[in-house]
Amino acid sequence: MAALLYFRQFLLLHVRRVLLAACLALLLILSPCLGGQVLLPACSNPSLEAIVGLARPAAAPPISSHSALEEHFHRIWELIADNTMYPERLATWNSWEHKFDGRLSGEDDTEKAIKEMIESLHDDYTYFKNLAQTKAREQELGERNVVTWRMEPDNIGYINIRTFASRHTSDETKAALQMLASADAYVLDLRGNKGGCVDEAHQICAMFLDKGKFTSMRGRLYNEPYYEELSIGQTRLRVITNGIASERRREANLTGRKPVMVLVNNNTRSASEMLAGSLRDNKRARILGSKTFGKGVVQNTWILDNGTSIKIAIANYYLPGGKCINGSGIIPDYMYVVPGQGDQQLSEAVRLLTEAKKH
């Protein structure tokens, strides 16, 4: 009987491990966020339980002991040392490792010390998020109604994408394009879109493009050179990471060869610039508006044991034509900044597209 009981326990444990492995595979396939983008647990060799543990309870235990506070600080020190895209800025980094040993009395003290350390990097795109800020970001992933659409005069389809931070952005864009299938041309409005998940922008690009390059990234990850290239094949999305290729499902081109105009402004950032630049470099769209923000870096987020997180700039990204727009932004094909009432940029885009239909 004891042997039978042991066998049943062993069998149950084996089944649980198989189920966990299946969950992990599904998570990695369906995850909407890359590099900026999958939320990674902060462990050097994450176990299966640690990765699946992203779906943990909302309430994380507070850090209480001095040793735990110092360990938390050190883990962030280590992650930045191993992953920042600016290793040349680490000349004095060792001096921070034990700077606050014995001096951290609570989470507020620790957060202040972490931020002081990060400020020494002079990197606006590497920052710490406390528990509340991390929870808020996780809630953004589930946000809905981030895409709006309508038919403009002269049968011009209009789509506004507010953010790429939601895992629903590409699905909502697909639904909008399906509703606007009868349009003769499209306006894609990315004004005020501060970016978000690269994977969402990659998938949306495929809805406007038969095939082509999307972006490439060069930087540093886990103390090793990091290179990644994202492209769109005729039947699959393709990712090559340090020479290793993988593929995933792509959406069909829902716009054919109909004319596309992308609207941008000085608050169009990151993944939005990536999408606008890729569509133009692939000769699939023109851009109208003002110069974009110029965020040409990719960030990765690590979730820590207590529910806080660290976001680190790990790479520059490059448009298909080879340009990195960090600090410079994208110059539109049609510079159009006219103050006044009404949406004159949209009106101008509709006018240009109507003219294009006649030729």
Active site residues: 270, 281, 295
Note the helical H segments in the chain: 2-30, 48-52, 66-83, 107-119, 131-141, 169-179, 198-206, 271-281, 344-357
Contact 273, 41 (CB under 8 A): no
User: Of 13, 78, 76, which is closest to residue 308 (Cα–Cα)?
Assistant: 76
- Name the 3-class secondary structure at 218: strand
Say how far apart CA 60 and CA 63 lie, in whole Å. Answer: 9
List Cα–Cα distances, 306 to 73, 111, 127, 131, 218, in angstroms.
Answer: 12, 12, 16, 8, 31
Give 12-73 as a DSSP string.
HHHHHHHHHHHHHHHHHHH----SS--EEES-SS--HHHHHGGG--SPPPPP-SHHHHHHHH
Contact 198, 229 (CB under 8 A): no
Q: How crowded is residue 98: how many other Cβ atoms within 10 Å of its Cβ? A: 12
What are the residues facing 159 on neighbouring strands?
149, 188
User: Of 105, 135, 114, which is closest to residue 39 (Cα–Cα)?
Assistant: 135
Say how far apart CA 185 and CA 46 lie, in whole Å. Answer: 47
Say how far apart CA 75 and CA 78 lie, in whole Å. Answer: 5
- Cβ burial of 176 (10 Å; 0-12, 13-18, 19+) is buried
Which residue has 């360990």 as its token pair? 71
> Could you tell me what percentage of the chain is helix, strand and coil, using 3-state DSSP and rounding each to the nearest 5?
35, 25, 40
